[in-house]
Amino acid sequence: MKVRAADFLVYDQETGAYRENPEQVVRDDVEKHYWLHVGRTIIKDWRLYLMLVPMLLVFLFWRYFPMYELLSCFKVENPVVPVSGQLFSGFSYFKRLLFAGDSLSSDFWRAMRNTFITSFYGLCFGFPMPIILALFFNEVRSNGVRSVFQVLTYLPKFMSTVIMTSLVTMLVKQGGTTTNMGIISQALVKLGVITQEVGHAGLLNNPAYFRTLYQISGIWEGAGYDSIVFFAAIIAISPTSYEAAQIDGANKWAQMRYVVLPSILSTIVIMLITRIGSLLNVGYEKVMLLYNDRTWVTADVVSTFAQRNGLASTGQKGLAAAAEMMNNVVGMLLVIGSNTIARKATNTSLY
Amino acid sequence: MKRKLEITELIFKIISYTLLGIFSLCCLYPFVYAVAAAISGYGPVSNSEIVLLPKDLQFDAFKSMFSNNMFWTSYSNTLFITLYGTLWAMFTAILGAYALSKKRLLFRKVFNFFLVFTMWFSAGIVPQYLNYLATSKIFKSVGIMDDKWLVVIAMGMAAMNIILLRNAFEGVPSEIEEAAIVDGATEMQVLTNVYLPMSKSTIATVTLFFAISRWNGYFWARQMMANSHEHPLQVFIRLRLEDYTNPDTLAGWELRYNYAPDSAIYALVVCSIIPILIIYPFIQKYFAKGVNVGGVKE
């Protein structure tokens, strides 16, 4: 910015001398008394600021203090000394995880790869399902029939992860000497999808089926509920748009392509950003409840890797924190990146 | 005027109805199966003979569960956590969202960023665990010995819910608030008599979100509560599941009980679902209404 003399001084014709610009005096005054002004406003509106306090404290204590604890990934492990007193160890934990080449390091790489694959599958199979479901809901003209469908498909969302995983575990459980395998495994064997032996050994004990089970149970749980957003966007489309398209001779597919899809595109973009934002936050609770040591090969994600190595009594908290740090930083870059791309490309953004 | 259905339209309709029907049945079936298996006898359940209807009716799985004191303790713990946790979360969220919705709030952008940043970046399990340990120590030193209070106060606060509330409050016309202020209403009265009644449905939705996340909370409850008398229902169910799939527990089971271990688990599942099913018809419309995407940005 160019500074001009006229901003500060004005020529006074009566006295024939320069004097200070009165506007600048006011500006100086405001600047000088800015914090006074802040203080006065806060005192005047003290109730408003008091209202903020509980929320800010909760977030400070249980959202921001953990971020401070995350710094233990740079510190030398020593449980006697508090985090602030520990020695700075630089990136030794990161190097250990990434380049050591031992079993821990390869476990970490496996967890990283599984995290990406699980989220990528979720994006490929889990994300389009609610949209398809919403399109189907839109075809059901009778309100009564549609509510029945909606009530039934939202239902699994109300179940907790524990209940859901218990059901999954029981439905595909292994067979024993006196007991038979779970009912779903049995049906799959009858249909010829899996062999008798695989079903008998238990699908959840088989690394080859973990990802499939994870994704299908995810769709079962969430697709109905997630379709609400898209359905709301579809019913907001004005009927005249369809009529205009029909007059122009558009059949169903053309209407989908040129009327429905452009109208719900912004919703899809927003949901996609949210999805990508939580891409690396694979539901660790669900993985933890479904996996066992036989399926670590395909099931272990970074959060569960950190939980196993960090929370056990002999755990290495610094190492685990370093693993989570990498995961979370990549996750944040993905949010910001996808948000920026969406804003540039479609003018829709979440943040 | 009724238009003749085009052939593509007709095909699409048939496909929609069929697939929706199949998917709805898939959503419902596990629950129906759980009920049927919970009240069937040992033989049919362990041979997986049950498909839809129960066989060899028995109610001993339910009876032995109801006579288990730990079941009731965990149930009351869950009710405690859900009730107080939701009240506390709503208290902080409503006050905070109200303040954030005000244009005259100084540093509004800073406060908003403070919230939104937690949606981008979370510290992760291990740092959170260390932090909970530290805060639990603080709680103990103040004399709050019960870990339940830590779970109530510390967990389940979600930035997204506060932003939903903030957006609802911003939608209230400022003229109404001004009228109330002219009539001599204080800040608190404006909130309780103007803002809360005018954003009822969002408040119901957010309450529901908080309550469900509390009811379903599992991992941190299990990590933080060493004492089994403090365990909520979800932890109790999970421990039972782990117990009943353990070969040692299963040894000689059929000699002692007339129901399969599976039935015991299904009975637990059914009992934890029933309260939700009872209130489901009343809350379902709020659940469906309140999902408002976007609008996070300032």
Give the pLDDT mean for B275-284: 80
Model confidence band, residue B226 (pLDDT cutoffs 50, 70, 90): confident
Residues A193 and A172 sit within 8 Å (Cβ to Cβ): no
CA distance A7 to chain B (A): 28
Q: Which of residues 149-188 of A touch B (CB under 8 A)?
A: 149-156, 158-163, 166-167, 169-171, 173, 176, 178-183, 186
Residue of chain A nearest B211, judged by CA positions: A158
Determine the CATH number of domain A106-346. Answer: 1.10.3720.10
Q: Which residue has the tokens 């693993």?
A: A323
**Where are chain B's structural domains?**
7-289
B297 pLDDT exceeds 60?
Answer: no
CA distance B202 to chain A (A): 15
Residue A243 Cα distances to A234, A258, A262, B139, angstroms? 15, 13, 16, 64
Chain B residues near residue A44 by CB distance under 8 angstroms: none
A22 pLDDT exceeds 90?
Answer: no
CA distance B189 to chain A (A): 12
* pLDDT of res. B261: 85
Task: Find the CB nearest B293 among A223, A267, A336.
Answer: A267
Task: Find the CB nearest B125 among A139, A183, A307.
Answer: A307
Q: Which residue has the tokens 């339209």?
A: B9
Task: Find the CB nearest B48 among A58, A162, A180.
Answer: A180
Contact at CB, A178 and B291, closer than 8 angstroms: no
Chain A residues near residue B3 by CB distance under 8 angstroms: 246
Q: Tokens at residue A322, please?
A: 């370093």
Give the pLDDT mean for A274-287: 78
- Within 8 A by CB and 6+ apart from A174, the residues are A181, A182, A200, A201, A202, A204, A205
Task: Find the CB nearest A162 among B104, B238, B280.
Answer: B238
Residues A130 and A223 sit within 8 Å (Cβ to Cβ): yes
* pLDDT of res. B298: 47
- What pLDDT digit, counting tens, does each position of A281-337 carry? 777 889 999 998 888 899 899 989 988 888 876 667 888 888 888 888 888 888 888
Residue of chain B nearest A308, judged by CA positions: B126
**Where are chain A's structural domains?**
106-346
Half-sphere exposure of B46 (CA within 13 A, CB side): 17
Residue of chain B nearest A309, judged by CA positions: B126
State the average pLDDT for chain B. Answer: 86
CA distance B128 to chain A (A): 5
A17 pLDDT exceeds 70?
Answer: yes
Determine the CATH number of domain B7-289. Answer: 1.10.3720.10
* pLDDT of res. A200: 86
* pLDDT of res. B29: 92
Q: Is A49 on the interface with B (CB under 8 A)?
A: yes
Task: Find the CB nearest B96 among A51, A136, A331.
Answer: A51
Question: Quick one: which H or E segment has residue B191?
Answer: none
Q: Are strands A17-20 and A9-12 parallel, antiparallel or unpaired?
A: antiparallel
A327 backbone φψ class: left, alpha, beta (φ>0; ψ -120 to 50)? alpha
- What pLDDT digit, counting tens, does each position of A208-235 carry? 999 999 999 999 988 988 888 888 888 8
Residues above pLDDT 70, as percent of chain A: 92
Contact at CB, A59 and B121, closer than 8 angstroms: no
Give the pLDDT mean for A77-102: 70
Contact at CB, A51 and B91, closer than 8 angstroms: no
